[in-house]
Structures are given as C-alpha cells and as structure tokens.
Amino acid sequence: MLKIEDINVYYGNIQALKGVSMEINKGEIVTLIGANGAGKSTLLKTISGLLKPKQGKVLFEGDPIGGKAAQSIVKMGISHVPEGRRVFANMTVAENLELGAYLRKDKEGIKKDMGKVYELFPRLLERIKQQAGTLSGGEQQMLAMGRALMAKPRLLLLDEPSMGLAPLLVKQIFNIIQEISEIGTTILLVEQNANLALSIADRAYVVETGRIVLSGKAEDLTSSEEIKMAYLGGH
C-alpha cells in the first residue's frame, strides 16, 4: 500500500532521515519504535506531506506522493494524527470533526461518519458543544483521532497517541486503535512505549538516528534480546 524507497530528509542542513526504506501492506498495523529524536515523527511528516524528501521515493498505491502538498495527500487517503494532538482548541468538538471532513462534499456520508466517530468515542458525544481546549488530554487524543477518521483515510498515521496519558486511558486508546484497524484502516503507529506498540502491531521497524536498524514481525522483535535490552526495559 505504502512504499518508501531510500529517502533522505533534511531540516535545513541537518539530515534527519538517512536512506530510509519501508513498506506497509493493506490492513496491517505497522509500528515505528525508537528513542526520542530518532526520526520517527519526521518520517510521518514526510509521508503526510509536511516535509519533502530531498532524495528517494514515497509511493502510495503505486502513485508517487513524495513532495506533494499535504492537502492532496489527505485527499488521496492518508490522514495524520500529529504528535501532541494539535486539536483546534478555540473550536468546538463538532467543528473539529467537521474540519476533518474538509475535503469531502458528501453531506450524508459526513453525517454518517460523524455518527461512527461518536460511536467509537462516546466521550466526544458528551462534549460535542464544548471547546476542544477545555478537554482533557485523553479526550483531545480521541478528538484528534476522530478528526483524522472524518477524512475517511485508508492509511492512518498515529504519532505518539499514548503521550502523557494515564495507563488506563492508554489501554483504552490502544483498544480503539485495534478497532479502527479491524474496520479495515491500515495503520502506521509511532510509539515510545515499545512494549505496548509491539503488542498490537503486525510488524515493526526500529529507528535509530535517522536510520532503520531493524525490522521484522512484531512477535519476533518482542522476543529479540537486542530489542529487550534497548527498548523494552529488559535485562
């Protein structure tokens, strides 16, 4: 579904991704794990068009999307839930969800999908008229995910959905991620909590200082000694 071939991405003069290649197949949950600053978020931003690769290819269902404007990538079916949620705090929950469907014109379908989002996140329905800035961190995460789903993505990029949330809430969010996957949305998940990410993922890539250093099936990586030492707090 998504294929990345040997991309280099720079912030000014600093190279953030060095020859990264990866692949996501339809229906999978793929996770990127790695330390802070390894380049995980940079990779997501490159896929969603916020950053442009200097070299290399990004192919979505065979079409090159590297360097395309973010809005055309959303239109093609990739939605990005950014790190730190980035909800529109000065707007209501309902308005945030409407903005998620900004490129869609099918009023009926939008209404239906909004109902689905409220089914997935009943908390949002309770807060429908509330300003997004007054929501708790967990509710904002739900809103950010709901907002991305309103674009009807085929590929959903999730950046650190567990950040700053209480363990119980993290579990709830991860259950919902699995539900979203079961509906048929392909998911690329960036997480610092590697244990948790590997527990729901099909495959994983390990990112270190801008390079992919390891990849494989999630269960294989979970049992690998190297991963245990570096990321799973093993000994």
Residues that bind another protein (CB under 8 A): 48-50, 69-71, 74-75, 79-80, 82, 86-91, 95, 98-100, 102-103, 133, 135-137, 140, 147-148, 151, 164
Task: Determine the Cα angle at 164 with ends 82 and 221, to 5°.
Answer: 75
Report how far residue 148's alpha carbon sits from residue 150's, in angstroms, rounded to the nearest whole number.
5
Tell me the closest approach of the beta carbon of residue 88 to another protein, in angstroms.
5
Identity of the residue, 80 or 127, whose beta carbon is nearer to another protein in the bound complex: 80
Q: Is the CB of residue 144 less than 8 Å from the CB of residue 204?
A: no
Identity of the residue, 43 or 212, whose beta carbon is nearer to another protein in the bound complex: 43
Longest alpha-carbon distance in the chain: 55
Specify the DSSP element, H or E, that contains 200: helix 194-200
Tell me the closest approach of the beta carbon of residue 209 to another protein, in angstroms.
24
Residue listed under structure tokens 């997501």: 44
Identity of the residue, 69 or 229, whose beta carbon is nearer to another protein in the bound complex: 69
> What strands, in cross-sheet order, belong to the sheet with 211-217?
78-81, 155-159, 186-191, 29-33, 203-208, 211-217
Tell me the closest approach of the beta carbon of residue 191 to another protein, in angstroms.
18
Alpha helix segments (H runs only) across 27-185: 40-48, 70-76, 93-100, 107-120, 122-126, 137-149, 167-183
Tell me the closest approach of the beta carbon of residue 84 to another protein, in angstroms.
8
Q: Which 3 state secondary structure label does DSSP give 121? A: coil
Tell me the closest approach of the beta carbon of residue 98 to another protein, in angstroms.
7
Identity of the residue, 46 or 48, whose beta carbon is nearer to another protein in the bound complex: 48
Tell me the closest approach of the beta carbon of residue 38 to another protein, in angstroms.
21
